[in-house]
Amino acid sequence: MNKTLITLVATVGFVTTLSAQSKEDVIDKIAQETCQCIDAKGIDMSKENKTKIEMEFGLCLIESYNKNKKEADKHFEVSLLDESSVEGIAELVGMQMVSYCPNVFSVFIEEELENDNAYSIEEVTGKFVSMTTNEFNTITIKDSDTNRELKLIWLTYFEGSDLLNNPKKLKGKNVKVEFEELELYDPKIEEYRNFKVISSLQEM
């Protein structure tokens, strides 16, 4: 699977404007339209072949880019003959799409977790501090062993995710979290870095 489709991380949502669009505005608009395009195809993400979903993502992305080409070309140089330029815009759009159609993102990240044996499950036990939703849902746990606070991100469904329906009830309680370290692209620093991705949550 194309790496650009699974190196997705949290990114701040941006408000789209009709004039003087910034780079972020353009990405946001393309992300929304790409999600709408995929949704309109009525693809069952739980049953459809991953290659098919990836292909539809690419087609919808290019369709939206062409619709917004005038503004997009002010910020990007994308050519269908240049794979790296397409991958670059796909990464940025993919990260923003998580805000509008996380089910698409989940397909790719789950496939990566299933197929890549390089990642191993780790766990931390401690007190639940908080959950923030500015970007992705991110929980903070105070490690009972080190007394340090750890931040873990919620990217896909996991066992115990229903406990986060009311995170205030968990505050101060002891929990055990299993997670995997994933190297994902962080647009804030324009580099790849490790993120702790939750795979299960249990109240102690």
SS3 at position 85? helix
Residue 154's pLDDT is 87
Mean pLDDT, the chain, whole residue set: 78
Summarize pLDDT for 47-96 with one digit per residue, the tens.
Answer: 777 788 888 888 998 899 889 888 888 888 777 666 776 777 887 887 78
The whole model's pTM is what?
0.52
Summarize pLDDT for 163-194 with one digit per residue, the tens.
Answer: 998 999 999 999 999 998 887 766 666 667 78
- Closest by Cα among 84, 74, 79, 83 to 27: 74
Residue 112's pLDDT is 59
Residue 183's pLDDT is 75
- Closest by Cα among 96, 203, 103, 196 to 151: 196
Helices (H), 139-204: 167-170
Residues of the chain with CATH 2.40.50: 121-203
Residue 69's pLDDT is 87
Contact 143, 183 (CB under 8 A): no
CA 128 to chain centre: 23
Residue 80's pLDDT is 66
Fold of 121-203: OB fold (Dihydrolipoamide Acetyltransferase, E2P) (2.40.50)
| pLDDT: which is higher, 32 or 24 | 32
| pLDDT: which is higher, 176 or 15 | 176
Residue 121's pLDDT is 84
CA 141 to chain centre: 21
